[in-house]
Structures are given as structure tokens and as C-alpha cells.
């Protein structure tokens, strides 16, 4: 059973939420470390548990259960017995906790009288025993000294001894060694470790020092601006911290052999007395994108660690020392998707023994790049292989060759499912892409459940947000797909893709089955979502008017190959390849009553089973010459 269970704790000081929706637990015999910079809310969390908040402070909601009893509900008189009794606290500066004009023996005796009813000789003997337990040398004599006569390390030990007078089940240690020399720090931490093990106490250790956490904690919670942003087992946390803030804390550490400047975390913890939107770390985060500024990230579980970051699990992996280089790499944007030499060849089997008689080269050596928050349109006639590219990227079709790197990770057959969180697909036909027997809410929940996105209890709320985001009515979740129009179904399909918070959405002709007015709504929606969420799109289409509206970059595909790539502005207004020129001039325009002329294509696209020799486009190209 949990010794301490803190649930959704919110603490306010005047108008500032200094602890915001914090939940964690501490088991008997374990040390849970709360880590973070000053101002992150660690100490306020501890003071909230003790109900020792400064003037103007109050716990406005949440529960703090100690052995199953919510101490927030106890009358103050009972709380006084809990404080220093079942739950004790030691502070950074012992002089603030010790009375300078009372001898140490008396001060410990008072605590023993209050919590154990001891007095006289029994109290003196017990006080001596406690000083022995915390390693104060010559304990009998020290009982008759004043705090100012002791060194910092001894004063800290005395305070620990005093905190043990009530035989606490939980010891809260708030930066207990920050004011001490490193050698004394090691001794005091040894004492705390020994006491915890002997007495099976739970310990809440508050510190900004990663070294202290590494040596003493069983589990770790990282706080930033009043919120917990990462929690997990110590070893997993140290092997691979997941949150950008945690990683930057590591990077700021001096390491043996470092000769350059240390990495700093730019900026400061934000003020908490103002409304905060989105991720609170966004102003300091090198990975922040549009969505981070609008939407507060929910909890996600990555390798057993809980993380609050929109990019959880998608940041480049690596141990902390390797991280700095990557942070700098991200500051100079890296492609979100990098495809090199992608081939998809389908074997043609013939005869009784189904021998391979040849290959359909549906995709033949395609290379593409998409940056975070950008749209690459993949354009071409039907049968050119563009949909196959989209499916191969998600490994819905197995590629024959080539590499696909998404968010810094190579997609292989093994990790394809897990990477599907980062990339989702919206298909052409909204009528057949939704299961008619599932209610819309269940359609949206299916992906979240399968990929373990967010906390299960929050998923219904996420569904409501998604429906709102794509402009569907509140009650849409309870209805079946057949109750919706084509445009609305495509909105449902988009919401389904967004449900797992992807970074890349592959849209395969998503508006080609829709009326032009509905198409405009869906295109506007996709653009809005990109601005708000920082999504990247691979937009597969044959419609150049749509490309002009939505795309930043364009790749033109013909018979399995990319024939021209460039920015949308360059490619649409000054196409170089004869095929692109032909496509552009074929776009019907309102001003078509003026004869715009241009290149016209003749004939059909040849079969990819038997593509023409040389340039695949040569049989249809008005400019073809011998060399082609």
C-alpha cells in the first residue's frame, strides 16, 4: 500500500498556482526525489503536505493521504500531532528550525515529550540515542550545547535526530545538504539512507542536485513551473531522460573532461501569477513548435516513464551526454521525414509454380524530405505510384529498398507500429475508411487505446476536444459514421489521425471525393491544424490548385520516379520539367476563356510493368530527343 499518496494537488499563493495538479506517491522504505530548479514548486509541494504554507497560501484542491488518511481534512490540532509525528520535515538551513537559545538536549526532549510522552531521564536517554543514531560524536556532551556551538554538518544531524523523535513514517527532506560541504553532504546523506533502511521510512527528497538524486532516489519526479513534467524509476530516468527540460538539466552538469562552456537553459521559470497557456517550458525549449504554445501536453508513458511533452518518445534517443549536440542540431531544423532511395517493387508471378516473371516497379528510387510544420505535395497522375509511396512510408506496404527516417529514428518492420504514433494517414474515401459499426467516439478511442496515448481516464475528454478541433458538434461522438455527410466523415477521419498526436499526417487525395465547397472547408481545416499543432503533411494529390493553396514544397512523380522537386512557388510558376509544364498548363482555370496555351500531354502513362527505356516520360514528351 502507498505510504503517501498525493493526488491532483493544487496550491495557490495569492493568485499564483505554485503547485498545479501534482500527483505522485511514496512507498514505505523508498525515496522519491522531486527534482527541479528553484521556483519550480518543489518546496511548496512539501509545505502543502505539511500544511505549513506561507501567508496567503492555501491548498485549493486535491488529496494528500498518509497511510490512507487525507491529512488535508484533519483539524489543525490533529495535524499538529501528525507534523513531526508520522510526517516529519528537515530543511536546508537547520538554524531556522532550531531554537538558538535552547540547548539541544532540551529541544529534542520537547519533541520526544510531544510525540512519545517521554520526560526526565527517559527523554534525555532517548535524545542521546537519537544523536547516536545520526552519528553525532560524543553525544552525551552535545546534549548540553547550544546550536551555534556546532558545525553546519552537526546541526543538520541534530535536526534529523529531532525529526526522528516522532518516529515518522514519512520524512520530507527539503534540500537537506545544499548548505553543506561536499564531504559533510556525503556523511549526512549516508545517515539518511541508513535510517530509511533501518526504519522502513518513506522519504520525499527535494533537491536540485542530480548527483544527490542518482545516489539516493528510487524514483524521480521532475517539476517545472508548478507542474510535474516527468516521473519514473531512477535507473530508467538516468539512462534516458525523456522530457526536454530533464535532458537540459543533465546537459547543464559539468562532466569530467569538459573543457568548453557548459550548456545553460536559457530564460527563467515563468511567473505563475499570470495565466499560462500551452507547455510551460515552451519559451525555453529548443524543440518547441506551434502546438506547444497553445496546448498543454498531457501525460504519456514512454518505456515506463511518464512524460508531459507533445514530442514524448519522438525526440532523438541517447544518453544525456550525447544530447547537447542534438539540441543544437534541432535549433538548426532537421527534417522530420527523410526518405532515401525508396523502392517498392511488386513481383509478378506466373505459371504453376508461381515463379517470379518480373516486377512492377511502382516506386523506383524516390527520395523526399519534409520539415517540421511544412507541407510537401506529391503530385502526379493516377498510377504514378504516389499512394504507394504514402503507404510504404507507414509500412502499410513493405518497401523493397531504401531508408525512411522519421523524427531521427529509422523506420523498420519492427518499430513501424510504435512509430505510427508519429505519422498517420487520412485516406481518399471517407465512406469506406471508417468502420460503419463503430460510434465516432469509439473510432477515435481505438487508436489511442491501441498505442497507449495519454491516461485512459482522460481519453474521453480528448475525444471531445478532437471533435471540437475538427469542427464537429459535441454530440457527434455518440453517432455512427452513416449519420454524417462526406465532408463531416473526412473531418472524423482527420480527428482519428490527430487522436494519437502525430507529427506527420499523410493525406492521400483527402478532398478528391468532395464537392468544391466542402473541399475548401477541409483544406482550411488542414491549414488551421497545421498552424495550431505544428503538423507536417505529405499531401498526395493530382490537383495542382490544391497544391497551390496548401503546399510549401512539391515533388512531381511520374511512373514511379520523382521528375522535379522544388518550392511550390517556383515549381508552379516556372516549371522546368516538360511533364510538370504539361501538368501546370492542364489545370483548368477560371481565366481559361483566355487561351493560355502551354504544353499538352498526349497518350496515357505507360505501364510500370514495362516502363519505357531511358527517361520514362520520353514517349509523351514534346521535347524528347535521342538522348532521352
Per CB under 6 A, residues contacting ligand SF4 are: 244, 279, 281-282, 285, 287-288, 292, 297, 309-311
Which residues, listed in sequence order, are joined to residue 4 by a DSSP beta bridge? 26, 66
Residue 311's closest CA among 326, 322, 321?
326
- 43 versus 300: smaller Cβ distance to ligand SF4: 300
Residue that has been written with the C-alpha cell 489543525 in this structure: 76
Minimum separation from the CB atom of position 291 to ligand SF4 (A) = 7
- 328 versus 355: smaller Cβ distance to ligand SF4: 328
- 39 versus 244: smaller Cβ distance to ligand SF4: 244
Backbone region of residue 539 per phi and psi (left: phi > 0; alpha: psi in -120 to 50; beta: other values): beta
Minimum separation from the CB atom of position 326 to ligand SF4 (A) = 13
Minimum separation from the CB atom of position 269 to ligand SF4 (A) = 14
- 152 versus 318: smaller Cβ distance to ligand SF4: 318
C-alpha cell at 460: 474521453
Minimum separation from the CB atom of position 265 to ligand SF4 (A) = 12
- 291 versus 489: smaller Cβ distance to ligand SF4: 291
- 168 versus 298: smaller Cβ distance to ligand SF4: 298
E strands present in 407-535: 409-410, 423-426, 504-508
- 94 versus 244: smaller Cβ distance to ligand SF4: 244
Minimum separation from the CB atom of position 533 to ligand SF4 (A) = 11
Provide the H-helix boundaries in 420-479: 440-451, 459-469
Minimum separation from the CB atom of position 255 to ligand SF4 (A) = 23
d(CA 252, CA 233): 21
C-alpha cell at 101: 537559545
Residue that has been written with the C-alpha cell 516527468 in this structure: 230
Minimum separation from the CB atom of position 330 to ligand SF4 (A) = 10
- 308 versus 577: smaller Cβ distance to ligand SF4: 308
| Terminal CA-CA length for the chain | 76
C-alpha cell at 274: 499570470
Q: Residues 281, 245: contact at Cβ < 8 Å? A: yes
- Length of the chain in terms of residues written: 628
Minimum separation from the CB atom of position 208 to ligand SF4 (A) = 19
C-alpha cell at 127: 535524545
CA distances 148 to 23, 30, 160, 184, Å, are 39, 33, 16, 17
For the chain, the maximum distance between any two Cα atoms, rounded to a whole number of angstroms, is 112
Amino acid at each position: 500500500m502507498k505510504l503517501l499518496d498525493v493526488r491532483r494537488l493544487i496550491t495557490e499563493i495569492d493568485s499564483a498556482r505554485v503547485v498545479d495538479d501534482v500527483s505522485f506517491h511514496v512507498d514505505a522504505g523508498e525515496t522519491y526525489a522531486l527534482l527541479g530548479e528553484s521556483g519550480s514548486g518543489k518546496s511548496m509541494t512539501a509545505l502543502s503536505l505539511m500544511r505549513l504554507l506561507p501567508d496567503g497560501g492555501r491548498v485549493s484542491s486535491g488529496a494528500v493521504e498518509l497511510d490512507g488518511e487525507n491529512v488535508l481534512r484533519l483539524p489543525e490540532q490533529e495535524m499538529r500531532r501528525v507534523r513531526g509525528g508520522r510526517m516529519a520535515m528537515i530543511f536546508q538551513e537547520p538554524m531556522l528550525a532550531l531554537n538558538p537559545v535552547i540547548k539541544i538536549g532540551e529541544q529534542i526532549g520537547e519533541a520526544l515529550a510531544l510525540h512519545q510522552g517521554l520526560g526526565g531521564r527517559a527523554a534525555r536517554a532517548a535524545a542521546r540515542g537519537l544523536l547516536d543514531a545520526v552519528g553525532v560524536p560524543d553525544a552525551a556532551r552535545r546534549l548540553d550545547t547550544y546550536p551555534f556551538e556546532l558545525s553546519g554538518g552537526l546541526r543538520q544531524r541534530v535536526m534529523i535526530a529531532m525529526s526522528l523523535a516522532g518516529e515518522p513514517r514519512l520524512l520530507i527532506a527539503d534540500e537537506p545538504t545544499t548548505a553543506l560541504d561536499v564531504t559533510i553532504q556525503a556523511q549526512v546523506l549516508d545517515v539518511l539512507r541508513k535510517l530509511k533502511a533501518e526504519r522502513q521510512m518513506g522519504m520525499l527528497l527535494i533537491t536540485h542536485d542530480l548527483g544527490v538524486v542518482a545516489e539516493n532516489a528510487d524514483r524521480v519526479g521532475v517539476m517545472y513551473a508548478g507542474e510535474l513534467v516527468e516521473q519514473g524509476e531512477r535507473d530508467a530516468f538516468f539512462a534516458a531522460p525523456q522530457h526536454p527540460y530533464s535532458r537540459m538539466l543533465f546537459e547543464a552538469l559539468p562532466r569530467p573532461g569538459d573543457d568548453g562552456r557548459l550548456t545553460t537553459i536559457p530564460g527563467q521559470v515563468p511567473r505563475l501569477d499570470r495565466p499560462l497557456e500551452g507547455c510551460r517550458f515552451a519559451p525555453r525549449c529548443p524543440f518547441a513548435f506551434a502546438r506547444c504554445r497553445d496546448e498543454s501536453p498531457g501525460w504519456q508513458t514512454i518505456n515506463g516513464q511518464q512524460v508531459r511533452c507533445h514530442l514524448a518518445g519522438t525526440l532523438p534517443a541517447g544518453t544525456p551526454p550525447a544530447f547537447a549536440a542534438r539540441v543544437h542540431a534541432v535549433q538548426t531544423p532537421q527534417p522530420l521525414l527523410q526518405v532515401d532511395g525508396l523502392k517498392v517493387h511488386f513481383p509478378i508471378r506466373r505459371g504453376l509454380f508461381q515463379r517470379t516473371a518480373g516486377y512492377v516497379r511502382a516506386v523506383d528510387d524516390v527520395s523526399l524530405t519534409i520539415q517540421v510544420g511544412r507541407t510537401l505535395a506529391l503530385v502526379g497522375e493516377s498510377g504514378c505510384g504516389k499512394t504507394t509511396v504514402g503507404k510504404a512510408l507507414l509500412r502499410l506496404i513493405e518497401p523493397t529498398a531504401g531508408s525512411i527516417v522519421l523524427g531521427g529514428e529509422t523506420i523498420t518492420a519492427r518499430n513501424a507500429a510504435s512509430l505510427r504514433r508519429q505519422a498517420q494517414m487520412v485516406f481518399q474515401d471517407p465512406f469506406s475508411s471508417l468502420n460503419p459499426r463503430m460510434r465516432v467516439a469509439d473510432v477515435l478511442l481505438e487508436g489511442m487505446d491501441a498505442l497507449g496515448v495519454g491516461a485512459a481516464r482522460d481519453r474521453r475528454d480528448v475525444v471531445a476536444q478532437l471533435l471540437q478541433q475538427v469542427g464537429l458538434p459535441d454530440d457527434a461522438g455518440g453517432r455512427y459514421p452513416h449519420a454524417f455527410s462526406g465532408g463531416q466523415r473526412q473531418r472524423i477521419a482527420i480527428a482519428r489521425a490527430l487522436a494519437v498526436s502525430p507529427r506527420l499526417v499523410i493525406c492521400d487525395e483527402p478532398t478528391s471525393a468532395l464537392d468544391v465547397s466542402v473541399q475548401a472547408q477541409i483544406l482550411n481545416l488542414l491549414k488551421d491544424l497545421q498552424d495550431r499543432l505544428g503538423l507536417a503533411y505529405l499531401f498526395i494529390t493530382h490537383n495542382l490548385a490544391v497544391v497551390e493553396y496548401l503546399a510549401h514544397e512539391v515533388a512531381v512523380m511520374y511512373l514511379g520516379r520523382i521528375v522535379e522537386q522544388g518550392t511550390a512557388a517556383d515549381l508552379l510558376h516556372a516549371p522546368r520539367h516538360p511533364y510538370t509544364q504539361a501538368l501546370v498548363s492542364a489545370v483548368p482555370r477560371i481565366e481559361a476563356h483566355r487561351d493560355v496555351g502551354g504544353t499538352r500531354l498526349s497518350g496515357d502513362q505507360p505501364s510500370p510493368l514495362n516502363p519505357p527505356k531511358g527517361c520514362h516520360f520520353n514517349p509523351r514528351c514534346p521535347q524528347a530527343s535521342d538522348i532521352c
